[in-house]
């Protein structure tokens, strides 16, 4: 999620936590439903407080995944809160079946611990008579019980083997013990899509959020399966295998207008910028168009191109670079060999390389 669409909530354990703007739609929906039921202002406020408390539990759930992943060698970029729950963005996921199992189980275990703490609190400080307690609306009295039940529901729901939910990842990790990670992912994906269809159909009759979750599972499972396929094919190659040593060049003193005229006559996705024979940076097609929109065609290229651009070493693993380029939305990167400019890595060429290797396997 782009930061401009999210509100930062801090960085516990060094992990950025933010809430997406669509979370406000959930609050609005709760208020709308509560008003429709004829609830009073105080009751509506308690429902909102309950949802906020529940999403604190969701953040803790995602922190459980994240901290377990970091402990086992993974890398976590951020956690984003959405109306349908939380999402931890892992730039590197532990791949050993045992490690993936532990990371996937860590989130639900956090909710088990929260439920246990609430149960102890209720046992010590509250006398609960379930026959007399009202559950039509959330009150100060039934709040702990409702939050305990919600955490147990989160555990049960997340353990459904619908990949890429926690249960699906647990299932995939167990399958990976006996077969390749790609085959295990395909089986988990197929089962997850069956659950996704069930969620969508059920959501049309009972709860619209199930429809959203169903589509999330469909798209998430397909996307992760595609990523695993890229990993299987690219993991034995390095950047040096596809670095482009023939490329379009432009002098840094030229204008953006001149670059635009050149761009329509070449097949590349951008230019290598030089001053004489010295490498100065990369001007991608997107950067050029954005520069024209913001500064006009008279701006010199040297005033737009970064003097210290992101770059990659020629011996870096190709799949690792592919992940970084996808995540950062980089389409061109300069490639260096021991500090010397060697060529460029084009994301479009990387996709073509993948397709060719896939077709020849």
* Rounded Cα gap, residues 4 and 6, in angstroms: 6
- Confirm if 251 and 228 have CB atoms less than 8 A apart: no
Strands (DSSP E) found in the chain:
6-10, 16-20, 75-82, 85-92, 249-251, 270-275, 278-284, 312-313, 332-337, 340-346
Instruction: Give the predicted TM-score (pTM) of the model.
Output: 0.77
pLDDT value of residue 200: 94
Q: Tell me 128's DSSP state.
A: -
- Confirm if 107 and 65 have CB atoms less than 8 A apart: yes
**pLDDT tens-digit profile of 183-217?**
999 999 999 999 999 999 999 988 887 888 889 89
Q: Is the pLDDT of residue 278 over 60?
A: yes
Q: How confident is the model at residue 309 (pLDDT cuts 50, 70, 90)?
A: low
Q: Is the pLDDT of residue 1 over 60?
A: no
CA atoms within 13 A on the CB side of 211: 7
Q: What is the chain's mean pLDDT, rounded?
A: 86
Q: How confident is the model at residue 237 (pLDDT cuts 50, 70, 90)?
A: very high
Q: How confident is the model at residue 2 (pLDDT cuts 50, 70, 90)?
A: very low
Domains and CATH numbers, the chain: 3-159 (no CATH), 167-234 (no CATH), 239-360 (3.10.580.10)
Q: Is the pLDDT of residue 285 over 60?
A: yes
* Of 22-36, 233-247, 268-282, minimum mean pLDDT range: 22-36
Mean pLDDT of 143-168: 92
- Bond prior to 164 in cis (omega within 30° of 0): yes
pLDDT value of residue 61: 94
**pLDDT tens-digit profile of 50-85?**
888 998 999 999 999 999 999 988 888 888 887 777
pLDDT value of residue 193: 92
pLDDT value of residue 20: 79
């Amino acid at each position: 999620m782009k930061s401009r669409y999210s509100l930062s909530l801090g960085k516990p354990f060094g992990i950025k936590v933010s809430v997406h703007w669509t979370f406000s739609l959930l609050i609005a929906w709760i208020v709308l439903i509560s008003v429709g039921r004829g609830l009073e202002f105080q009751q509506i406020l308690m429902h909102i407080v309950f949802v906020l408390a529940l999403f604190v539990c969701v953040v803790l759930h995602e922190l459980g995944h994240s901290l377990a992943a970091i402990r086992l060698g993974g890398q976590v970029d951020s956690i984003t809160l959405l109306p349908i729950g939380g999402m931890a963005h892992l730039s590197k996921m532990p791949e050993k079946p045992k490690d993936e199992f532990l990371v996937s189980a860590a989130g639900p275990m956090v909710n088990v611990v929260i439920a246990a703490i609430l149960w102890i609190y209720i046992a010590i400080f509250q006398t609960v008579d379930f026959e007399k307690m009202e559950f039509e609306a959330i009150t100060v009295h039934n709040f702990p019980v409702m939050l305990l039940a919600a955490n147990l529901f989160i555990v049960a729901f997340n353990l459904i083997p619908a990949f890429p939910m926690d249960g699906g990842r647990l299932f995939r990790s167990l399958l990976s013990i006996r077969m390749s990670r790609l085959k295990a992912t395909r089986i988990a994906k197929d089962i997850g899509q069956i659950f996704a269809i069930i969620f969508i159909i059920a959501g049309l009759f009972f709860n619209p959020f199930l429809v959203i979750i169903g589509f999330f599972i469909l798209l998430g499972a397909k996307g992760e399966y595609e990523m695993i396929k890229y990993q299987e094919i690219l993991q034995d190659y390095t950047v040096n295998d596809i670095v482009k040593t023939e490329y379009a060049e432009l002098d840094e003193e030229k204008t953006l207008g001149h670059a635009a005229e050149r761009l329509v006559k070449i097949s590349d996705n951008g230019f290598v910028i030089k001053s004489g024979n010295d490498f100065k940076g990369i001007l991608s097609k997107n950067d050029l168009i954005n520069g024209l929109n913001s500064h006009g065609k008279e701006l010199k290229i040297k005033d737009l191109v970064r003097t210290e651009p992101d770059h990659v070493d020629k011996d870096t693993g190709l799949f690792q670079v592919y992940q970084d380029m996808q995540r950062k939305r980089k389409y061109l990167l300069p490639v260096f060999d021991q500090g010397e400019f060697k060529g460029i890595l084009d994301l479009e060429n990387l996709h073509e390389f993948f397709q060719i290797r896939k077709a020849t396997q």
